[in-house]
Chains A and B, each alone.
Chain A
Amino acid sequence: MLSKNNVQKIANLARIEISDEEAEKYSKELSDILGFVEKLNEADTDKIEPIAHITGAKNVTREDEIIEANAETKEGIIKNFPEKKDRFDKVKAVF
């Protein structure tokens, strides 16, 4: 069971501001889901190696080379900045 307090801690880690009412709601919903996934504990996995990926691919490498994007793509990326100064992405102070 996740308490409201737990939920606020998780939301803080996830960088999402949530209200007290939301925390209450999420506490119930997330607890329900975590209750459902308890089912996993019934599976005997003692001799099983975990897999992160189905293809079995490991360390797919390529040459470390610069491929220039075309001007249109570059402009497109810059246009999508929420705030900008000239061609730079403008951000708030860290502190």
Chain B
Amino acid sequence: MDLRDRRLRKEIGVILIVKILAITALWWWFVRDVRVPVDTTTTAQHLGAPALPTLNPTLQGNPHDQ
């Protein structure tokens, strides 16, 4: 291993450490405390709609043919 390789390895090593620290910091500040509890019930509430009322006749169309 020559001088240049040692220098490059050192630089890449420093970059990797800084990167791991940066990603950890991003996780710490923006992800760690974020809890978005999503389960079957919350998804049903999120997606669901109340029972279909009688539609305005102008909205009635032929259901898509399966």
The answer to whether A binds B is no
